Amino acid sequence: MANQYEAEVIIGLEDIAVIELKSLQNMDLPSIEIIRAGFIRFIFTGKAQDLLKLRSVIAIYSIHNFDIPRPKAILGHQNFTHLINLINDQLQTWNNPTTTFGIGAAGSSSSVFERIKHELSQTLDLNIAEDGKGELFLRFIRHKNQQGWQVLIRLSQRPLSTRPWRIQNIPGALNATVAYAMTQLANVNCKNHIVNICSGTGTILIEQSHSDFEHKLIALDNDHLMLESATTNIRAGGNDKLITQVLGDAQQTPFKSGQFDVIYADLPFGHHIGSHDTNEWLYPAILSESARIAKDNAVFVAITHEINLFDQSVTISDWTITQTRQINLSGLHPQIFVLERN
């Protein structure tokens, strides 16, 4: 089996993925390399199944070298048989039947790749996925340093960021790998009191509840339908005893002053939820109320697309920005802010 792998990660969160990769046993630490924005390669000698537990990556691929001058040569008997064997090995690791597949490559809609897709579809008895990816997803990449091509096979039927606990999915729900990254940026310890304002369907606190520590976590949102959706997800996440949900306004919460060490917020940003006009007064009000309920030196990790507005609102608040990072989320570019209470 291959022991060279590629992790696809959210652009802007590569360093967080590297830290998680380094924490795995059987990881060849010197081999870890960010080869370009959003992609990390490494050698791992443990069970491939262990890589599926990673929470900071979108997908993991095994890498297979083919000594061929151009993709068409993959259809030669020996190479094609080898590829089919590799794919069948992968399919056997999945419990659910696979019905669709896709190919990612520069020129993936060219006649050559159409032919490759056709042959794979016939041989594997799989349909070509309408979304271009499907359950079995292969990528063809020209080998960078040597001659030949590499075929990358995704190790999971769905992206790892599609968590099994996400039963209720609403437009505007946060990508779970981003939520995981936010929990890492907060640098939480076991004694921390943690609240998530504007908690929506519960993504951030479900990710937090899967950390090493058992915190009592509080989620607050002003929309009871959101809280209902979150209840379903939180139950599916298995840690419902740790998370208490509160219906309330983030501008005027029911919490005591100086109560929390860590505050999270995925703020309404006027795309699916809220509007820019509302946010002009909402953001300063939320920052002010968060400062009230925060302990001294508390950390506030927030994400928003309204970068300028949030930035300006912080300057007139009791918070100081200690870190920012812009990420690329399927073409959207929200920013994560890490703030410290003045």
- State which residue, 244 or 251, has the beta carbon closest to ligand SAM: 251
Name 142's Cβ contacts closer than 8 Å, sequence gap at least 6. 106, 149, 150
Which residues in this chain contact ligand SAM in the complex, by CB under 6 A? 172-174, 198, 200-201, 203-204, 221-223, 226, 249-251, 266, 268, 273-274
CA angle 224, 183, 39 (to 5 degrees): 115
Q: 134: how many CB neighbours lie within 10 A of its CB?
A: 20
Minimal CB distance residue for ligand SAM: 200
Q: Contact, 253 vs 286, CB < 8 A?
A: no
Residue 196 C-beta: closest distance to ligand SAM, Å:
8
Contacts 24+ apart (CB under 8 A), 308-316: 309/276, 309/279, 309/280, 309/283, 310/267, 310/283, 310/335, 310/337, 311/337, 313/283, 313/284, 313/287, 314/287, 314/339, 316/284
CA angle 101, 173, 57 (to 5 degrees): 50
Residue 283 C-beta: closest distance to ligand SAM, Å:
10
Q: 244: how many CB neighbours lie within 10 A of its CB?
A: 14
- Cα dist from 202 to 131, 228, 236, 289, 335, whole Å: 27, 10, 11, 21, 19
Residue 33 to residue 41: CA distance in whole angstroms:
5
Residue 204 C-beta: closest distance to ligand SAM, Å:
6
Residue 27 C-beta: closest distance to ligand SAM, Å:
30
Closest alpha carbon to 242 in 201, 214, 203, 200? 214
Residue 111 to residue 158: CA distance in whole angstroms:
27
Residue 197 C-beta: closest distance to ligand SAM, Å:
6
- State which residue, 85 or 326, has the beta carbon closest to ligand SAM: 326
Q: Contact, 141 vs 152, CB < 8 A?
A: yes
- State which residue, 90 or 199, has the beta carbon closest to ligand SAM: 199
- State which residue, 192 or 290, has the beta carbon closest to ligand SAM: 290
Residue 179 C-beta: closest distance to ligand SAM, Å:
7
Residue 174 C-beta: closest distance to ligand SAM, Å:
4
Residue 326 C-beta: closest distance to ligand SAM, Å:
17
- State which residue, 98 or 251, has the beta carbon closest to ligand SAM: 251
Please report, in angstroms and rounded to a whole number, the separation of the first and last CA atoms in the chain: 53
Q: Contact, 152 vs 93, CB < 8 A?
A: no
Q: 282: how many CB neighbours lie within 10 A of its CB?
A: 21
Residue 304 C-beta: closest distance to ligand SAM, Å:
8
